[in-house]
Amino acid sequence: MTTRTSPVVVIPRPEAVAEGRRRTWSRRTSFRLAIATQVLVLAASNFPTPLFPIYAQRYHFGPATVTLLFSVYVAALIPAMLTLGRITDRVGRRPALVAGMAITAVSSIVFAAARNVGWLFAGEIIYGIAAG
């Protein structure tokens, strides 16, 4: 009977870090981290959705504006996926995911600081770009 073992995460010795060598993760760990990060970014892009009725009352807009908010997200997401997806090939998966997470954080801040419906549209556009 053969036992399969997962590769272990390699933590370099301090002298290896001083020499400029990087810590490496197994392919399985890297893949799982990439998937988890993408799931979190996509989930975060839907966090404001339950707040739309509250925003509608606060900023006095109707169902048509809520529909436009959803549409703007998709309108930003599709071009971002088509154009920004190539960045991963150039800079690597980790930097692209970190950038996506940072942009998602910016969008969350925009939603938290929203002063009018324009901020909500800006937040949705930024979320669309981050998810792309």
Q: What is the pLDDT of residues 29-40, one digit of tens each?
A: 888 887 887 787
SS3 readout for 49-115: HHHHHHHHHHHCCCHHHHHHHHHHHHHHHHHHHHHHHHHHHHHCHHHHHHHHHHHHHHHHHHHHCCC
Binned at pLDDT 50, 70 and 90, residue 14 comes out as: low
List, for residues 65-106, the tens digit of each pLDDT value: 999 998 999 999 999 988 887 888 888 877 887 888 889 889
Residues 6+ apart with CB under 8 A from 53: none
pLDDT digits (tens, 9 = 90+) for 41-63: 777 777 788 888 899 999 999 99
pLDDT of residue 13: 57
Q: Hey, CA dihedral for 121, 127, 129, 132, is it positive or negative?
A: negative
